[in-house]
């Protein structure tokens, strides 16, 4: 009990003292996670809208696949990306293994199905209301998707948040493709795992507290933005 109390005290010391290692790890975590979520949104939003509005062969099978991929095991994604980026792999020539870029790729693969599946649901629900109107106006499928995505933009914040939560908490994939190299690919989750295994509970706890706080602040900010913007836009 005393040890945990000491660890907490040391953790707050690191946070308040703006420990350089801590700041570096946090900055890299945010950089990797936010980049991955941004890329996943750029892929997932149109993909979800296409699945919601499009009428093409194998559409239902694709919907099932995307839904199933929401539960992708991170270590499997990590292994897949590792095999692609390793020297013997098809993309080995790019020398991306054990770099933040590799971690972004792995997280993007993990997060994209979540964002695409949630987007499909949101757009499909909205399209029930919009479909006749947009067709009567002679709107093509692409234009219909654009209209729906724009009008669902505040609801899609929730999809992005779900992706953000997954990416922030993810450890298995980034550990495999990033390697948890100090000052290069060490992020909050991998650092927590490492420091805990070493018995360095203070840094692990400090990172854990910051990770939780970041997650809450990002969620609260985006939800606040969504509610305010939604009220202003369409009451």
Partner 1 sequence: MLELVKAARPETDPLLTLDHVTLIRGGAAVLDALSLDITAGVITAIMGANGAGKSLAMRVMAGLIAPEAGQVRYAPDMRAPRDVSIVFQRPVLLRRSVRGNLRHALKVYGVPRNQRTRRLAELLELGRLGLIADTPARALSGGEQQRVAMVRALAAKPKLLLLDEPTASLDPQATQAIEQLMRKAADDGATVVIVTHDRGQAKRLAQDIRFMHRGKLVEKAPAKRFFDHPTSAAASAYLSGELFL
Q: Where on the chain is the footprint of partner 1 (CB under 8 A)?
A: 129-130, 132-133, 135-139, 143, 147, 151, 232-235
Of the two residues 217 and 229, which places its CB atom closer to partner 1 in the complex? 229
Least spacing, CB of residue 146 vs partner 1, in Å: 10
Region of 203 (left: φ > 0; alpha: ψ -120 to 50; beta: rest) is alpha
Of the two residues 65 and 233, which places its CB atom closer to partner 1 in the complex? 233
Least spacing, CB of residue 139 vs partner 1, in Å: 6
Number of neighbours of residue 114 by Cβ within 10 angstroms: 26
Region of 138 (left: φ > 0; alpha: ψ -120 to 50; beta: rest) is left
Least spacing, CB of residue 152 vs partner 1, in Å: 8
Of the two residues 59 and 231, which places its CB atom closer to partner 1 in the complex? 231
> Per the structure block, which two tokens stand in for 233?
């836009």
b/e burial code for range 162-188 (CB count within 10 A of at least 16 → b): bbbbbbbebbbbbbbbbbbeeeebbbb
Least spacing, CB of residue 133 vs partner 1, in Å: 4
Of the two residues 17 and 138, which places its CB atom closer to partner 1 in the complex? 138
């Amino acid at each position: 009990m005393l040890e945990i109390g000491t660890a907490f005290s040391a953790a707050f010391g690191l946070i308040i003292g703006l420990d350089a290692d801590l700041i570096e790890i946090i900055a890299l975590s945010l950089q990797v996670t936010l980049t991955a979520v941004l890329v996943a949104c750029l892929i997932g939003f149109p993909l979800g809208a296409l699945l919601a509005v499009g009428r093409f062969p194998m559409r239902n099978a694709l919907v099932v696949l995307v839904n199933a991929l929401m539960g992708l095991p991170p270590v499997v994604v990590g292994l897949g990306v590792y095999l692609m980026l390793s020297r013997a792999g098809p993309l080995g020539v790019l020398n991306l293994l054990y770099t933040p870029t590799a971690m972004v790729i792995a997280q993007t693969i993990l997060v994209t199905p979540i964002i695409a599946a949630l987007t499909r649901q949101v757009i499909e629900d909205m399209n029930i209301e919009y479909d006749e109107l947009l067709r009567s106006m002679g709107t093509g499928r692409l234009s219909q998707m654009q209209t729906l995505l724009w009008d669902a933009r505040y609801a899609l914040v929730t999809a992005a948040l779900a992706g953000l939560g997954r990416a922030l908490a993810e450890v298995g994939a980034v550990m495999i493709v990033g390697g948890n190299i100090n000052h290069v690919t060490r992020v909050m989750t991998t650092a927590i795992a490492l420091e805990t295994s070493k018995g360095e509970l203070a840094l692990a706890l400090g990172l854990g507290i910051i990770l939780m706080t970041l997650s809450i602040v990002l969620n609260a900010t985006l939800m606040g933005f969504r509610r305010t913007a939604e009220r202003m836009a369409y009451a």
